[in-house]
């Protein structure tokens, strides 16, 4: 019996945002592997083994999933949002480089609605023009790289989606990011704080960047900084399609 | 009777990538408004009026949709992919600025799987680290703005998703974009040409940027340029989670 490995995105939280492709993969799985809060989003059933794990053990988790698939199991590795955006897909391919014996396994990556798209939709259309996505976590890269990217993104006049703006271990990073953007002349830009996107306790808050403070974001917040042309109409915030 | 306006993303093509939220909105609609090829993706039924329109009439189309909703209809404006990424959501909010009488209408934006996420999933995980999305169409912005953004994106070492790389009216732009990235020292980066993503005739091709030529993209192609650390493992291309 040949096992399979599927890397799937569960979307930002609401079940109505899980694609039928991902639902079908979950229904056919024998094993679900992932960070515990995401595994908890999969309904238990007979014949399905859940393998929740801790945060920050992505490579170990990827290796475990590949091992299970090599034993003939049908394994789904679950991520929140899209598995290819700051999530498990890269970790699985890193593990695949480390363990060549698993390279022949049938692997599929199933896309999902990543947090910035759901956040943008709730706020209006702040990503309607060119934009970038930056992971503010410095677990995986030196902080100066993040600063440099923020400065260049401001100069390019991209809208900027910030993932993982604030963690318990590094509360000062996001404040510094706001400072850099103010220094880069972005004080009058709109900033959207989208907390718990698509969950029942979703909260969307929009302010000018010069009014933003670090405490407005926590670990469940996705932050979108608009570009210089981003406007408000009624309760909506959007990037016009044209640029000068 | 109060009408409603819903701006929905149909995903890149495969029905299995349409979220249940969007399917429910289509099932409850009285009117579907959009660019003809996208409207053609909605199954006709009794009680549903389809309003296909031409390309490049986004603002007119948005106004028509708002007019229908103001008459009590339940209107869904459909886009391919995600409606907030180079699609109809921004056009609807632009129309809303122009016509204040419609600002009280109930409006919802429903996110979808945008082309770059599906392309990335088919190729591996090239968007697994910081990235940007640039619309190469110069209908809506001056070409020098596009050049500047490409140079800054290369300097930031973002992976770069290019939407609308090549159109009949402006075939030379994409060749120039490749030149700029070569000049910026990106010749050894991987480039993924993802054509007809998620459709039966999908084709994924990966080359080094110095080997890429403009003819490799057409109007149905999404191009992803990897960052400097992007690697191949077997048939997969991925961005490692770490940066130096």
Q: What is the pLDDT of residues A99-144, one digit of tens each?
A: 999 999 999 999 999 999 999 999 999 999 999 999 998 788 899 9
- Whether residue A66 lies inside any domain: the answer is yes
Length of chain B: 244
Asked if A207 and A220 sit in the same domain, the reply is yes
Domain boundary residue among A113, A144, A160? A113
Asked if B104 and B29 sit in the same domain, the reply is yes
Residues B218-240 pLDDT 10s: 989 999 999 999 999 999 999 99
pLDDT of residue A146: 95
Question: Residues of B numbered 196-215 whose beta carbons fall under 8 angstroms of chain A's beta carbons: which are they?
Answer: none
User: Which pLDDT band, with edges at 50, 70 and 90, does A211 fall under?
Assistant: very high
pLDDT of residue A172: 87
- Whether residue B122 lies inside any domain: the answer is yes
- The pLDDT of B122-148, averaged and rounded, is 94
| Mean pLDDT taken over chain B | 95
Residues A16-67 pLDDT 10s: 999 999 999 999 999 999 999 999 999 999 999 999 999 888 999 999 999 9
Residue A56 in contact with partner chain B when CB distance is under 8 A: no
pLDDT of residue B130: 98
- Whether residue A218 lies inside any domain: the answer is yes
What ipTM did this prediction achieve? 0.97
Asked if B94 and B105 sit in the same domain, the reply is yes
The count of other CB atoms within 10 Å of the CB of residue B201 is 8
SS3 A95: helix
Collect all residues of chain B within an 8 Å Cβ-Cβ radius of residue A199: none
Nearest neighbour of B89 by CB, restricted to A14, A128, A155:
A128
**Do residue B107 and residue A236 have CB atoms under 8 angstroms apart?**
yes
**CATH of residue A230:** 3.30.950.10
- Whether residue A243 lies inside any domain: the answer is no
- Whether residue A41 lies inside any domain: the answer is yes
pLDDT of residue A7: 98
Tokens of A170: 């590094």
Helix spans in A53-194 (H): 58-70, 88-98, 115-123, 143-155, 172-183
Chain A residue with minimum CA distance to B197 = A111
Q: Which domain holds residue A145?
A: 116-238
pLDDT of residue B55: 85
- B102, B183 in Cβ contact below 8 A? no
Nearest neighbour of A82 by CB, restricted to B19, B24, B117:
B117
Nearest neighbour of B152 by CB, restricted to A89, A118, A152:
A152
Q: Write down the residue that tokens 């289509």 correspond to.
A: B26
Asked if B20 and B81 sit in the same domain, the reply is yes
- Write the DSSP symbol of residue B199: S
**CATH of residue A94:** 3.40.1010.10
């Amino acid at each position: 019996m040949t096992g399979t490995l599927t890397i799937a995105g569960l979307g930002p939280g609401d079940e109505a945002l899980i694609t039928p492709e991902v639902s079908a993969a979950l229904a056919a799985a024998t094993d679900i592997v992932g960070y515990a809060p995401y595994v908890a989003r999969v309904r238990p059933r007979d014949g399905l083994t859940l393998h929740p794990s801790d945060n920050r053990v992505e490579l170990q988790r990827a290796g475990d999933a590949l091992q299970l698939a090599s034993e003939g199991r049908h394994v789904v590795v679950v991520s929140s949002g899209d598995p290819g955006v700051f999530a498990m897909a890269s970790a699985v391919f890193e593990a695949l480089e480390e363990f060549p014996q698993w390279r022949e396994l049938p692997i599929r990556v199933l896309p999902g609605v990543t947090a910035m798209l759901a956040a943008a939709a709730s706020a209006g259309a702040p990503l309607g023009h060119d934009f970038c996505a930056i992971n503010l976590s410095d677990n995986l890269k030196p902080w100066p790289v993040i600063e440099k990217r923020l400065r260049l993104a401001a100069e390019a006049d991209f809208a900027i989606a910030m993932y993982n703006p604030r963690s318990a271990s590094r509360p000062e990073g996001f404040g510094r990011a706001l400072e850099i953007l103010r220094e880069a002349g972005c004080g009058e830009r709109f900033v959207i704080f989208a907390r718990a996107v698509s969950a029942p306790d979703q909260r969307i808050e929009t302010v000018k960047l010069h009014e933003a403070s670090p405490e407005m974001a926590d670990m469940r917040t996705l932050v979108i900084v608009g570009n210089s042309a981003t406007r408000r109409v009624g309760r909506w915030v959007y990037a016009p399609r044209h640029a000068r």
